[in-house]
Chain A
């Protein structure tokens, strides 16, 4: 998968493209902003803590937006908070990524209909790269989402835009229904 797995034998000389090295370095030290909003923040904390240990992915929360690459919007964004979220996003250095964690920040969640004070989807105010569904998502699904962010970074090249990279990522996506069917058939056989 990674560069190191390919095996380095000949006097530590490695031939690869600059993109690959840069992307590898960036995706292996993805620092999210330690920024919890609601219930999902507790699952984010649980993912950081002993059992799920996010640090093995090189992911460790930073307290300041200026030091972080990734913003995990963990929880309900309200109207009062919306402007702060925008400001925090703008303080992050480029290239920056946004992961929307949980139903509330994806689309308003259980509060979509009667929550007058709830922002119905954080993508109304900032661009979102990866959505993680769930209320709250399990740590496993958060890790899945973070790996998607890593994949997105791996797709990036100098000269192609984020939108193109996202498109390439979408092409690689697997239809879960197909996998379920395949597994079911394999189990039957």
Chain B
């Protein structure tokens, strides 16, 4: 946290929650990015993401039982794909945290947390559908919004739309 700057109470609560995670996982998680709009930290070792998720859900002082959102991301400048998870503790504590996990653009993967939060199941399928992020250990891994035989991953920055689909012209 930056010195000399006073953050609102909710950011301080998030920082306290982060401190517990940092204590347990050490260098596997990045420093806490305190900002008013969305305080977050990054999981540097993607392989540990499921353990961190389980820890966050089950630790008596964290209890992040509610995953609000899981967003797939395309970090084009870094040549990486990633996810952003917005977590909170519904009706138990007041802290909210966002977690970022990144993986290589080609052949990289992220462990699935569908077994930790059921919400993640469909969100991860969507992230795969839109960005082609691979999730290992997902119970039901296939496309969700686009048809199964759709070409490419639409929300990647370098996506080119296909000319035709089943004989129907796609562009205007």
Contact = CB atoms under 8 A, between A and B. Distances in A.
A and B touch in the complex (CB under 8 A): yes
Interface of A: 79-80, 82-83, 108, 112-113, 116-117, 119-120, 124-125
Interface in B121-172: 145-147, 150, 154, 159, 161, 165-166, 168-172
Query: Chain B binding site: helix, strand, loop or mixed by DSSP?
Result: loop
Determine the interface band of chain B, counting residues with CB < 8 A from chain A. Answer: 10 to 19
A112 B172 contact: yes
B169 A79 contact: no
A18 to B, nearest CB: 40
User: Nearest 5 A-B pairs (CB), nearest first?
Assistant: A116-B161, A120-B172, A80-B147, A79-B165, A112-B172
Contacts of A124: 168-169
A82 B161 CA distance: 17
A116 to B, nearest CB: 4
Given A108-B172, A113-B172, A116-B154, A83 B161 contact: no
Given A116-B154, A116-B161, A80 B168 contact: no
A79 B170 contact: yes
Contacts of B145: 117
Contacts of A116: 154, 159, 161, 170
A150 to B, nearest CB: 31
A117 B146 contact: yes
Contact of B146 (A80, A112, A120): A80
Contact of A117 (B154, B169, B172): B154
Contacts of A120: 169, 171-172
Contacts of B170: 79, 116
A82 B168 contact: yes
Nearest to A107: B172
B172 A119 contact: no
A83 B166 contact: yes
